[in-house]
Chain A
Amino acid sequence: MTSREDPRQRLERLIQRTLSELPQGRAPASLERRVIEAIEGRAGPTSRQESAWRKRIERGGFASWPLTARAALIACCLASVIIVLLGLKGLATRLAMLAADPSIAGRLQALRHAGEAAVTFGTLPARLMRLIPSEWLLGGLLATAALYLVLFALVAIGYSTLYATPERARS
């Protein structure tokens, strides 16, 4: 009967039969004590309330918050937006007044020069790259890629040889 059966199905059937014989294991005696100790550690009223509150937030999101909490958060957000807008408006007015002052205008000019110098310094790496011959760059990239592949292959061969092929047990 089994000689005509597809080898895949035969193997599946036999492994299923083998595994189904396996009885349930026994939990270690320490498990019950550990669970009770952990429950006692968490059982304080504060931690339970905190846990319930955290769980509520995680599961339900903003919609599940209490109404007062939602209203308070929205009010805080609106107040923050108004404060930031008012602050920006005040700052803009103040800057406009400062820019009109001739003594301040001179300092602003110095700041502008410093900004231009920073931009020039920022483009320095790009300029240096243009000085390096393209053959060197290409060679460096190829050498890096080759080293990466060699390292990858060594690790993968080591892993597959030492760990990933229990089929070797056959030999």
Chain B
Amino acid sequence: MRAYQDMVFTTAARLTSNAAQAEDIAQEVFLRAYENFERLRSSPAVGGWLKTVTIHLALNHITRYRRRWRLFTDTFAGEATEDALEFAATEVDELFANTDAEQRRALVEQALERLPAHQRVPLVLYHFEEMPYRDIAQRLGVSLAKVKTDILRARVAMAALLARHGFDAAAATTGAES
């Protein structure tokens, strides 16, 4: 359990954006592993099994509360323009130039926490869990187009959050140095 608890907890925490819920999910994952101990003890794919169960339980937890909001997020969804995308990419580029790795880690964690669930979940599945768009759409029960749009919006929103906090962090660093 010690070898995998950080991975299980981190996966659940990134999806739920809530440490208490992530701990509950991690507990349930290890209880299921205990129930399947005989099958898993000699399996080389135990890490994959734990990750799959973690994602499954976390998504079940999230989707329980998500359906009621889906209509609103679909209704008030604007399309990101090319200029907005270009601007967002430049902001992330500048962030790398102006902050160190430790600052970026804290900023990215904060930005992920602030994203709404309908953007954060597909973003995490795509970038961290390396799931293809089609699998994400199938798992979340939404259209492929919606997944692509939500992930794109999540990237733009994340870039904006990183830029806003990144400039503060960079200014603080510069101020401390001078």
Q: Is the CB of A15 within 8 A of B159?
A: yes
**Does A67 lie at the interface of the complex (its beta carbon under 8 Å from any beta carbon of B)?**
no
- Which A residues are CB-close (under 8 A) to B153? 167
Give the residue of A16, A20, A167 whose beta carbon is less than 8 angstroms from that of B156.
A167
- Which B residues are CB-close (under 8 A) to A127? none
Chain A nearest CB from B118 CB (Å) reads: 8
**Does A126 lie at the interface of the complex (its beta carbon under 8 Å from any beta carbon of B)?**
no
Q: Is the CB of B157 within 8 A of A167?
A: yes
Q: Is the CB of A11 within 8 A of B164?
A: no
Give the residues from 61 to 101 in chain B that come closer than 8 angstroms, CB to CB, to chain A: 69, 72-73, 75-76, 82, 85-86, 88-89, 92-93, 95-96, 101
Q: Is the CB of A21 within 8 A of B104?
A: yes
Instruction: Given A11-B92, A11-B156, A31-B27, answer yes or no on A164-B127 (Cβ-Cβ < 8 Å).
Output: no
A138 to B133, CA, bound (A): 47
Which candidate, B3-11, B42-50, B136-144, B169-177, is the interface stretch facing chain A? Answer: B3-11
Question: Which chain A residue shows the least CB distance to B69?
Answer: A159
- 11 of the cross-chain contacts (CB-CB < 8 Å) are A11-B89, A11-B92, A14-B92, A14-B93, A15-B158, A20-B127, A30-B23, A51-B35, A163-B116, A164-B76, A166-B157
Q: Is the CB of B164 within 8 A of A19?
A: no
Give the residue of B75, B76, B85 whose beta carbon is less than 8 angstroms from that of A11.
B85
